[in-house]
A and B are shown apart, each in its own frame.
Chain A
């Protein structure tokens, strides 16, 4: 029950990140079309019309670079909880495959503890970074929106990733104690 709820939260977070990804793809395509349209007019020497279109907002999207950067950071942080709960991270199992099942379970629990520690550190330091960017008032180049907005969105997703990692630690230790791995056999593909 608990596991299904956690899985739903992780999938929802990944989907939000995925929707941001689709939004960025759309934004980039719109920007390219605007640029192409304006470029054609400019090439024909019609500066006045090109300028008018630009004023109407038909042209490349201002700050598309920085929107992609800000949005992508959030999207990738939003993907991490799902990676964590499905064990999607890449690892090498050539030596450990010979371990007895209980040994492998202990090893996996230890690794999960390390992972949770690292994700907690990442989230905590991102919190520090968000605060520092908030204090400094740094903005982006073109749209000049405060850079901490993007940090805050990422922090939200990074915190969830850390939380999920802690939950996974509990599951792994449960597996060590009971030898019951049913919850961990998720769709890793």
Chain B
């Protein structure tokens, strides 16, 4: 082969995202390049560092390609947070489509200027997994709850919980040692992390998602620039809008089997059919976010409107 690229990310190799999205993507590139590109995969932070450093690892060339949760680096990618607003997104594929289009319009030359972005997507509905049952916002008072991003932690704070920020691989240890009483993650990652064994209550929402997280698959710009044009074309053909929408859809589709595991274990699943109390309690996050964006010289309301319009237009 001509080129070896190192793909670094934080989940174990057999988790859904590496198995169903990243490996498939990397295999396709290896095949389409007739083996001229080899992508070495390093799961579980094997190349060193901690998950919040993945973005800088791509920028500095510690890894050629990284996949990360954008929210692990609070304050650096403000525009992506529009998709993390509470009860904002209803479908991961639609949101991933809007995310990529808005990345091209507003983020490529601003917050993501230091990396070559290959894909942008979001996960399925965020679910609360807890030791004690949670059926109303009041049940969250004083609960030590893990959130993956600044926005999710604000959401937990508004609900009266005590937010604890930590990357997803830290969850099993934190739950088994009582560091947290509840975690917020989509169903899809619960299987790999053994969450249904560690807690017995789950709270999910009908309609719009309580929250979602934004992901990015990014490449070191020099590693990309060093590719000959025909290999650049191979990478380009496997990346971008279509890949992002697919990734969002695949990740949301992976929720159902993981949920079935919790059901089979006899865990209690509470479905909030009327989330109006929850929506009311978390509404201040919108105004606060718009004000924060304004302070950064970003029109938050316009981003909200644009994202809504793009999500509504998806599939039509």
A interface, CB within 8 angstroms of B: 35, 38-39, 41-42, 47, 50-51, 54, 59-60, 62, 65-66, 132, 136-142, 144, 146
Please list 26 pairs of residues, one from A and one from B, whose beta carbons are closer than 8 Å in the complex, sorted by A's number.
A35-B142, A39-B142, A42-B141, A47-B141, A51-B160, A59-B142, A66-B165, A132-B60, A136-B56, A136-B75, A136-B76, A137-B76, A138-B52, A138-B75, A139-B74, A139-B150, A140-B74, A141-B74, A141-B147, A141-B150, A141-B153, A141-B163, A142-B153, A142-B163, A142-B165, A144-B150
B129 beta carbon closer than 8 Å to chain A: no
Q: How far is the CB of A9 from chain B (nearest CB, A)?
A: 31
Q: How far is the CB of B254 from chain A (nearest CB, A)?
A: 26
Residues on B with beta carbons closer than 8 Å to the beta carbon of A140: 74, 165
- Judge whether B162 and A35 touch: CB under 8 Å: yes
- Judge whether B162 and A144 touch: CB under 8 Å: no
- Judge whether B160 and A136 touch: CB under 8 Å: no
- Judge whether B150 and A138 touch: CB under 8 Å: no
Residues on A with beta carbons closer than 8 Å to the beta carbon of B101: none
Q: How far is the CB of A146 from chain B (nearest CB, A)?
A: 8
* B131-163 vs A, Cβ < 8 Å mask (1 yes, 0 no): 000000010011010010110010000001011
Residue of A nearest to B78 (CB): A137
Which of A35, A38, A136 has a CB less than 8 Å from the CB of B73? A136
Which of A47, A54, A132 has a CB less than 8 Å from the CB of B56? A132
- Judge whether B138 and A47 touch: CB under 8 Å: yes
* Given A51-B160, A60-B162, A66-B165, A139-B75 contact (CB < 8 Å): yes
Residue of A nearest to B60 (CB): A132
Residues on A with beta carbons closer than 8 Å to the beta carbon of B166: 65
Q: How far is the CB of B75 from chain A (nearest CB, A)?
A: 4
Q: How far is the CB of A174 from chain B (nearest CB, A)?
A: 38
B261 beta carbon closer than 8 Å to chain A: no
Residues on B with beta carbons closer than 8 Å to the beta carbon of A139: 74-75, 150
Which of B73, B76, B141, B163 has a CB less than 8 Å from the CB of A51? B141
Residues on B with beta carbons closer than 8 Å to the beta carbon of A54: 142, 160
Residues on B with beta carbons closer than 8 Å to the beta carbon of A42: 141-142
Q: How far is the CB of A120 from chain B (nearest CB, A)?
A: 20
Q: How far is the CB of A80 from chain B (nearest CB, A)?
A: 20
* Assembled-state Cα–Cα distance A62/B163 (Å): 8
Of B75, B138, B164, B165, the most chain A CB neighbours within 10 A belong to B75
Which of B75, B142, B165 has a CB less than 8 Å from the CB of A38? B142
Residue of B nearest to A43 (CB): B142
Residues on A with beta carbons closer than 8 Å to the beta carbon of B59: 132
* Given A132-B56, A138-B74, A139-B74, A65-B142 contact (CB < 8 Å): no
Q: Which 3 A-B pairs have the closest CB atoms?
A: A141-B165, A139-B75, A42-B142
Q: How far is the CB of B232 from chain A (nearest CB, A)?
A: 27
- Judge whether B153 and A50 touch: CB under 8 Å: no
Residues on B with beta carbons closer than 8 Å to the beta carbon of A142: 153, 163, 165
Residue of A nearest to B138 (CB): A47
Interface residues of B in 45-98 (CB under 8 A from A): 52, 56, 59-60, 73-76
Residue of A nearest to B179 (CB): A65
* Assembled-state Cα–Cα distance A138/B73 (Å): 6
* Given A54-B142, A142-B153, A137-B75 contact (CB < 8 Å): yes
Given contacts A50-B142, A54-B142, A139-B74, 14 further A-B contacts (CB under 8 A): A35-B144, A38-B142, A42-B142, A47-B141, A50-B141, A51-B160, A54-B160, A59-B142, A59-B162, A65-B164, A65-B165, A136-B56, A138-B76, A141-B165
Q: How far is the CB of A73 from chain B (nearest CB, A)?
A: 12
* Assembled-state Cα–Cα distance A59/B73 (Å): 27
Residue of A nearest to B114 (CB): A136
Q: How far is the CB of B311 from chain A (nearest CB, A)?
A: 27
Residues on B with beta carbons closer than 8 Å to the beta carbon of A47: 138, 141
Q: How far is the CB of A1 from chain B (nearest CB, A)?
A: 43
